């Protein structure tokens, strides 16, 4: 017979985890707003300056150039706004077909200024892959967390490689973030997903990192998707995190039963692959 007190404790733990995830989501949104506000101001200044140039000059070539620059800046502003709104809305716990490549594009729009500021080059390898059955908002949070961690691992600059692919035998869509930072010691790898464990000394100059909550929350989100999060690291070469998320079922003729964040398989799905990231 189940112990009512134990069940009550488990329910309370789940409730506190949900509250922590919500608080962290709001914190991440606030940090992104701070980062993108500067970029948005740069876009507005571009629009204003080229509008003034078009008003001052009456010749067609100059005006055409001004209009082209204004259009490009306006389109970038729209992408930034859509990225922020995408994080702020659709906060339900439902899973739906999700294009991981699009999430990568949206994340890079939001973090472009920060990555450029810290001299981080970005390479994307977006292979054709089926839709993942996921909560786009939650996976976006995980991706942003991994990208910020990668940037922090390269204080003197470096490269991030973001890949999307598909593993047919397991029917898993894969999203990986690889950096060229200093790497994580092998003895610390088994603990990096523990709550409040961190390999960092504290927040960096941007105020991010150091609490250890981030990767633990990432693990919980991926487990709720019935997926896996793997890490591979080599000292002096870098670290790679790989998310493996089930694809949308093939030839599904009936609507899938609703899936809610927080439901997990009986056996934890998180895997820590400590092979080298060569």
Q: Name the β-bridge partners of 234.
A: 238
Within-domain flag for 27: yes
Handedness of CA 90, 256, 224, 227 (dihedral sign): negative
Within-domain flag for 110: yes
pLDDT in tens, 70-118: 998 888 787 777 766 766 655 567 889 999 999 999 888 888 888 988 9
Report the distance separating Cα 130 and Cα 246, nearest Å.
10
Where is the domain boundary, 86, 109, 142? Answer: 86
Within-domain flag for 205: yes
- Same domain for 82 and 108, yes or no, is no
Within-domain flag for 196: yes
Tokens of 270: 């998180």
Handedness of CA 196, 201, 207, 209 (dihedral sign): negative
Within-domain flag for 271: no
Within-domain flag for 13: yes
pLDDT in tens, 204-214: 555 555 444 57
Cα R_g (the chain), whole angstroms? 21
Report the distance separating Cα 218 and Cα 145, nearest Å.
8
CATH (domain of 53): 1.10.287
- Same domain for 43 and 167, yes or no, is no
Q: Where in the sequence is the domain holding 226, given as residue range(s)? A: 94-246
Length of the chain: 278
Residue among 147, 161, 66 at smallest CA distance from 109: 147
> Which are the contacts of 52, defined by CB distance < 8 A and separation ≥ 6?
none
- Same domain for 143 and 235, yes or no, is yes
Model pLDDT, residue 112: 85
**Using an 8 Å Cβ cutoff, are 137 and 173 in contact?**
no
Model pLDDT, residue 162: 97
Model pLDDT, residue 43: 83
- Same domain for 177 and 114, yes or no, is yes
What separation in angstroms does the CA of 3 have from each of 6, 13, 222?
A: 5, 15, 29
- Same domain for 80 and 98, yes or no, is no
**Using an 8 Å Cβ cutoff, are 90 and 106 in contact?**
no
Backbone angles phi, psi at 118, to 5 degrees: -95, 15
Report how many helices (DSSP H) and strands (DSSP E) the chain contains, helices first.
Answer: 5, 7
Tokens of 36: 């993108």
Q: Could you give the angle at which helices 136-152 and 4-56 cross, rounded to 10 degrees?
A: 70
Q: In the chain, which residues have pLDDT < 70?
A: 1-2, 4-6, 17-36, 38, 83-84, 86-92, 196-213, 251-278
**Using an 8 Å Cβ cutoff, are 152 and 208 in contact?**
yes
**Using an 8 Å Cβ cutoff, are 277 and 240 in contact?**
yes
Which pairing describes strands 228-234 and 158-167: parallel, antiparallel, or unpaired?
unpaired
- Same domain for 195 and 108, yes or no, is yes
Looking at the structure of the chain, the number of domains it has is 2
Report the distance separating Cα 62 and Cα 193, nearest Å.
55
Within-domain flag for 278: no
- Same domain for 56 and 117, yes or no, is no
Grouping H, G, I as helix, E, B as strand and the rest as coil, residue 249 is coil
**Using an 8 Å Cβ cutoff, are 78 and 111 in contact?**
no
Model pLDDT, residue 270: 37
């Amino acid at each position: 017979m189940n112990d009512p007190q134990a069940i009550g404790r488990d329910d309370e733990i789940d409730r506190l985890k949900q509250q922590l995830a919500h608080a962290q989501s709001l914190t991440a949104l606030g940090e992104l707003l701070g980062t993108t506000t500067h970029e948005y101001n740069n876009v507005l200044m571009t629009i204003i300056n080229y509008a003034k140039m078009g008003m001052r000059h009456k010749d067609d070539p100059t005006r055409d150039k001004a209009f082209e620059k204004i259009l490009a800046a306006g389109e970038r502003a729209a992408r930034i706004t859509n990225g922020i709104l995408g994080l702020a809305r659709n906060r339900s716990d439902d899973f739906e077909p999700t294009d991981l490549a699009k999430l990568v594009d949206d994340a890079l729009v939001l973090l472009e200024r920060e990555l450029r500021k810290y001299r981080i080059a970005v390479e994307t390898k977006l292979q054709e892959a089926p839709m993942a059955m996921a909560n786009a908002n939650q996976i976006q949070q995980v991706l942003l967390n991994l990208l910020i961690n990668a940037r922090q691992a390269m204080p003197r600059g470096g490269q991030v490689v973001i890949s999307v692919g598909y593993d047919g035998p397991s029917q898993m869509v894969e999203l990986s973030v690889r950096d060229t930072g200093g790497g994580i010691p092998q003895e610390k790898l088994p603990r990096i997903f523990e709550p409040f464990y961190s390999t960092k000394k504290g927040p960096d100059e941007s105020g991010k990192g150091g609490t250890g909550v981030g990767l633990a929350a990432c693990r919980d989100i991926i487990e709720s998707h019935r997926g896996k999060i793997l890490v591979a690291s080599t000292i002096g070469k870098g670290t790679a995190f790989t998310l493996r998320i089930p694809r949308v079922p093939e030839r599904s003729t009936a609507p899938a039963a609703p899936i809610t964040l927080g439901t997990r398989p009986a056996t934890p799905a998180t895997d820590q692959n400590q092979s080298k990231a060569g």
